[in-house]
Amino acid sequence: MASQEYHRGEMDIHGQKATWDGFITGSTWGSLITIMVVGYATLAIAIGLNWMVALGLMAILGFGAGLFLNLGGRWMATVVVMIGLALVVQAFIWLFGVLL
């Protein structure tokens, strides 16, 4: 038998609430990043839209979703970093295209 009996309603739930809030925030961020990456690839590769237009559309989607879901400044900074990363990747693609 257990050394202590269970008493309903005596547990502090602050830790559980923080864990749940973190899970929801992580799921939201992960889902939005996945949607943006797949959307960019779909627009630029599958549909053949200019990469800069596709990047602009996904940036608008990212900023709009961040404002709508009230994700804060960290999300906006993440979108800016993703835009910068996409520009660096496109610069490398252009550079290797020129060299080959």
For the chain, what are the domain ranges?
27-99
Show pLDDT as tens, one digit a residue, over the chain (100 residues): 566 777 777 667 888 898 999 999 999 999 999 999 999 999 999 999 999 999 999 999 999 999 999 999 999 999 999 999 999 999 999 999 998 8
Predicted confidence at residue 42, as pLDDT, reads 96
Across 21-53, b (16+ Cβ under 10 Å) vs e yields: eeeeeeeebeebeeebeeebeebbeeeeeebee
Please tell me the predicted confidence (pLDDT) of residue 58.
Answer: 97
- What's the pTM value of the predicted model, to 2 decimals? 0.80
